[in-house]
């Protein structure tokens, strides 16, 4: 039986999201139409907007629905044209790096968090900065102190964008408390459908559209809204619950057992979201670990899923000062379908594979 432990890539569709998607699909109608069906679609769209904003502490903020976290990040970075320079953390998702050129990179600490003191030094230059720092890292699960980052950025008259795609559903995401100017989220990480996301933004900021051609989303994102997908997103975010204590306890126990085998828990010295484990075994390459786990019916990954199916060296682990481990990492990520016993099954399969690998390696070296 397949065991799915790659929720950080995409979480299976929740039944609540499936039902909401089906209901909206059956209703039909374009939210921009003025007839009865269109008005019903518009009501569903705006109800979803309110539900998502409420779930992320964004009452009073603006929200633009997008095709996912990547587009939400791109729309946020589009606002950087009005600032003097851009700073991104070394741990940012590829969608942030790909949305801007000539950005200054703020380093990470060895624990995997953005170095706030170093960031403050980078912002000492003249001009207004646009800064991007994620809430929870997509590879390690490490949580950044966004409130402290916001204080530093705003002291320089800057804009702070926060990629919260991996944080959503795993920890409290409170737009107002974070002090961010914009925040990206995505449906498919929490059991909503793929192809739906949103950018939450401070209404005191003037948001410039990136996709033009129509008046949808208050003129900020042209194109017919995906009402069924958006309805599913709202249903999924309302269905999110804190991680069960027994599941979290099982993860902690497995991490302790792995460390006995010489495994490095990447980011283990920093606060992390529950359900995300980035491990590195210095003797066992990522691609070999993945092959073993896949053959045993366990779905995990070697890092970010947004790399066209490739297994590549981790830029994040390298930025943490461990280039020697960058091609040895494995990411295990739990979600709403995960049970406590799933963590134990993962450990049993992984440790058995490692034992076999060591024996084969010893024979080759003999």
Provide the annotated active-site residues.
306
Q: In whole angstroms, how far apart are CA 270 and each of 111, 151, 320?
A: 6, 21, 12
HSE of 294, CA atoms in CB hemisphere, 13 A: 9
Strand order in the sheet with 264-265: 264-265, 276-280, 329-333
Contacts of 277 (CB under 8 A, 6+ apart): 141, 251, 254, 255, 265, 331, 332, 333
- What does DSSP assign to residue 125? S
Per-residue burial over 311-326, b = 16 or more CB atoms within 10 Å of its CB, e = otherwise: beebbbbbbbebeebb
Q: What is the DSSP letter of 301?
A: B
Per the DSSP assignment, residues forming a β-bridge with 184 are: 163, 199
Count other C-beta atoms under 10 Å from residue 266's C-beta: 30
3-state secondary structure 147-183: HHHHHHHHHCCCEEEEECCCCECCECCCHHHHCCCEE
- 327, two tokens: 């091609």
Residue pair 192/183 in contact (Cβ under 8 Å)? The answer is no
> By the 8 A CB rule, do 65 and 90 touch?
no
User: Beta strands of the chain (E only): which ranges?
Assistant: 3-4, 62-66, 85-89, 104-106, 129-132, 159-163, 182-186, 197-201, 264-265, 276-280, 298-299, 329-333
């Amino acid at each position: 039986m397949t065991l799915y432990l790659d929720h950080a890539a995409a979480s299976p569709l929740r039944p609540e999201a499936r039902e909401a998607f089906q209901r909206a699909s059956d209703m039909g109608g374009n939210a921009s139409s003025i007839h009865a069906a269109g008005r019903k679609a518009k009501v569903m769209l705006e109800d979803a907007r309110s539900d998502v904003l409420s779930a992320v502490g964004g009452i009073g903020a603006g929200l633009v629905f997008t095709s996912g976290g990547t587009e939400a990040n791109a729309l946020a970075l589009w606002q950087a044209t009005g600032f003097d320079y851009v700073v991104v953390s070394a741990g940012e998702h590829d969608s942030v790096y790909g949305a801007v050129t000539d950005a200054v990179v703020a380093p990470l600490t060895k624990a995997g968090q953005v170095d706030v003191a170093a960031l403050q030094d980078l912002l000492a230059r003249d001009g207004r900065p646009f800064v991007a720092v994620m809430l929870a890292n997509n590879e390690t699960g490490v949580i950044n102190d966004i409130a402290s980052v916001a204080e530093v950025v705003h002291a320089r008259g800057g804009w702070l964008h926060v990629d919260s795609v991996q944080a959503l559903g795993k920890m409290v995401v409170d737009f107002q408390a974070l002090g961010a100017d914009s925040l990206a989220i995505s449906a498919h990480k929490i059991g909503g459908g793929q192809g739906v996301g949103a950018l939450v933004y401070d209404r005191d900021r003037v948001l410039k559209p990136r996709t033009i051609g129509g008046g949808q989303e208050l003129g900020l994102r042209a194109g017919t809204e995906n009402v069924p997908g958006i309805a599913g997103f709202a249903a999924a975010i309302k269905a999110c619950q804190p991680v069960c204590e027994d599941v979290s306890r099982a993860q902690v126990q497995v991490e302790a057992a792995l460390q006995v085998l010489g495994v490095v828990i990447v980011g283990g010295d920093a606060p992390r979201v529950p359900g995300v484990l980035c491990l590195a075994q210095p003797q066992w390459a990522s691609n070999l670990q993945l092959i073993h786990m896949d053959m045993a019916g366990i779905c995990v990954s070697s890092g970010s899923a947004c790399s066209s199916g490739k297994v590549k060296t981790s830029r994040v682990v390298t930025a943490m000062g461990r280039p020697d481990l960058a091609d040895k990492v494995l990411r295990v990520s739990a979600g709403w379908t995960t049970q406590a016993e799933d963590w134990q099954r993962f450990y049993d399969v992984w440790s058995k594979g490692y034992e076999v690998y060591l024996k084969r390696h010893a024979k080759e070296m003999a």
